[in-house]
Chains A and B, each alone.
Chain A
């Protein structure tokens, strides 16, 4: 995954120690170089003094609010992408955040796979190649002709199952959360109970077609987190 020579640097500005530690550890495991700041002042100083590829910014900070930091940074012309974390999810809060120059917005409590996906998307920005040929081990997909083969055998998938598998393939070896599936595959804004059940049914059906006839299982449920396409 990490083809770059030097690791990408991420600044995490978060005052809640537990959350900050979890973020640092999780991001470091993904081979990012992480620097943590516990207050607004510290974050403000660091972002001015050093170079970062991405800033993850909590909005509710002691001392200086995240929004203030953000707008000051943007006024000084710093173009570092900023991902905001907040517990406030009202529409006007989102709008305010994006207006102050944030690039993305994540509501607490967020799923970590979701955060990872957003971080990747931010850092990849500008050089995304939407390839139509997706491949993982012996699973091959042509997103144009909408054909899926496993070990050369053509699989018969419904439209929804195809989209689901395509999403898993594009995020291969990464855990995808239910929120991500709800938003990106089902295009639903709210994750309601019926949708969770619907997801379970589709994942089960997909498993039956993709995994059951073969020895190597590729679709896995990560309990309490989401789903992942990988070999175990």
Chain B
């Protein structure tokens, strides 16, 4: 038998049964003790009353000895209930109940016996009798007598032992019944957890779409199931993202490799002129360049994931960051005859890494330029949000982003338009890098877009606190 049961159900039952047994034993013992006390008190009461009776029964014999006079119907000391000894103070036994058969209730009297309060004491006689004994001085016809009156305790002990027997038999039965009941209850209470365990076991990495059934959302188990379900949801999302990322990354890495390989192989099939070889090598180098940039971007992102990028924070004017970024990509917009309009609060300050934040804005602007039609306008607005944060909104007049794509646009390699060429589209990492850059500043980058009505990317950052200079130091690193 295991001393420590392995399942919760048995453990609960064991604790419950143990506690109940201890409680019952304590209760039984206490009852027995109080019963004993109350019976002995009753006995002492009777014994003391009996002293008066016996005193009244003392009678002198003509030969000077003393005997007890029995009333009619009084069992007196003829039964095995009451025993009496009468002594002279000098130590002469005057009378002894015949049923004692010569067994003394106590040794010869000692000086002073029977004086003072009558205090009953328990005696265990050598012949096996347990008695309650009281001593008393009695003045009788000019003589002083010592009376020793004892009551047999046998009846009391009999009664107590019967009660104890009842307890000893009843207690294990009660405990056993309670144990069964407790086990059944625990089983019933824990059954939903077992069911949940079985359900959870069935969910594997390939089947993360499954969810636990929730019977009652309000109780503890329902909440547990809801929490597990939410976790499964996140896990599923992460798995899907990882799967998509792996597939996309291998596609993005293999495409340039394929190009390098086939361009090289094909060029070696026939003899070519130097200028043709030059072309081939140039084309291969272009793909190498693409791969190099891709690996660089992936490294940046994985460092960002690992949290090992140190921001060089400084106090920045958000509008200046926007202007610098726009200045960099302005020519791209000019080529499409687009206009980048920047306005907003020129005093708004944030604390950030200038290069990293600018990179985020550049990537977003580049995205806006790419997707906006020629001759359109791209708006950059810098302002305060309702919850007192700094916001930078970039709005394009492109085709917008359909709802079903919106949650994925920040995913690595994700392209809304799958057919878009790599020539202009880049690797599809721009928005992921922008989001990372903003989030590294404890900011938020969100997309608002209605299909057909352009898109707005909003960066929101904590304001640089220049109202309280003491806090400024703490805020910067």
Contacts and interface: CB of A to CB of B under 8 A. Distances in A.
Given A193-B366, A223-B282, A224-B286, A201 B427 contact: no
A106 B71 CA distance: 130
Interface in B268-309: 278-279, 281-289, 292-293, 296-297, 299-300, 303, 308
A197 B332 CA distance: 7
A143 B281 CA distance: 36
A194 B363 contact: yes
Contacts of A193: 293, 366, 426-427, 430
Contacts of A49: none
Interface string B304-340: 0000101000000000000000001101101100000
B149 interface: no
A123 interface: no
B285 A223 contact: yes
Contact of A223 (B283, B303, B334): B283
A198 B329 contact: yes
Contacts of A205: 331
Interface residues of B, number: 37
B362 interface: yes
Interface string B359-373: 100110110000000
B279 A223 contact: yes
Top 7 closest pairs, chain A to chain B, by CB? A224-B285, A223-B282, A193-B426, A194-B366, A224-B286, A201-B331, A224-B282
Secondary structure at chain B's binding surface: helix, strand, loop or mixed? helix
B296 A224 contact: no
A225 B282 contact: yes
B121 interface: no
A224 B328 contact: no
A222 B366 contact: no
A91 B430 contact: no
A191 interface: yes
A52 interface: no
A202 interface: yes
Contact of A90 (B289, B303, B430): B303
Contacts of A188: 328, 355
Interface of A: 89-91, 109, 178, 186, 188-198, 201-202, 205, 222-225
Contacts of B284: 224
Given A194-B362, A198-B328, 20 more contacts: A90-B303, A188-B328, A190-B300, A192-B359, A192-B362, A193-B293, A193-B366, A194-B363, A194-B366, A194-B430, A195-B328, A195-B362, A196-B293, A198-B331, A198-B332, A201-B331, A202-B331, A223-B278, A223-B285, A225-B285
A78 to B, nearest CB: 33
Nearest to A221: B282
B343 to A, nearest CB: 22
A205 B330 CA distance: 13
Contact of B355 (A189, A195, A222, A224): A189
Contact of A192 (B332, B335, B430): B430
B313 to A, nearest CB: 16
Contacts of A201: 331-332, 334-335
Contacts of B426: 193-194
Given A223-B282, A225-B285, A194 B328 contact: yes
B285 A190 contact: no
With most chain B CB atoms within 10 A of its CB, the pick from A188, A193, A197, A225 is A193
A198 B430 CA distance: 15
A227 to B, nearest CB: 13
17 contacts: A89-B299, A91-B310, A192-B433, A193-B293, A193-B366, A193-B426, A194-B329, A194-B363, A194-B426, A195-B362, A198-B332, A201-B331, A201-B335, A222-B282, A224-B282, A224-B289, A225-B282
Nearest to A194: B366
B147 to A, nearest CB: 107
B290 to A, nearest CB: 10
A231 B289 CA distance: 25
Nearest to B425: A193
With most chain B CB atoms within 10 A of its CB, the pick from A190, A192, A201, A205 is A192
With most chain A CB atoms within 10 A of its CB, the pick from B299, B310, B366 is B366
Given A91-B310, A201-B332, A201-B335, A224 B281 contact: yes
Contacts of B300: 190
B321 to A, nearest CB: 14
A19 B335 CA distance: 40
Contacts of A194: 328-329, 332, 362-363, 365-366, 426, 430
A190 B427 contact: no
A213 B293 CA distance: 35
B267 to A, nearest CB: 14
A195 B366 CA distance: 9
Contacts of A224: 281-289
B426 to A, nearest CB: 4
Given A224-B284, A225-B282, A191 B293 contact: yes
Nearest to A197: B332
B286 A109 contact: no
Nearest to A199: B331
Given A191-B293, A194-B430, A186 B331 contact: no
Nearest to A205: B331
With most chain B CB atoms within 10 A of its CB, the pick from A189, A194, A195, A225 is A194
Given A192-B363, A193-B430, A194-B366, A109 B288 contact: yes
Interface string B217-238: 0000000000000000000000
A139 to B, nearest CB: 22
Contacts of B424: 197
Contacts of A186: 328
Interface in B251-270: none
Contacts of A191: 293, 296
Nearest to B335: A201
Given A194-B362, A224-B283, A90 B308 contact: yes
Contacts of A195: 328, 362
B422 to A, nearest CB: 10
Contacts of A178: 289
A222 B283 CA distance: 10
Contacts of A109: 288, 292
Contact of B359 (A89, A190, A196): A190
Contacts of B308: 90
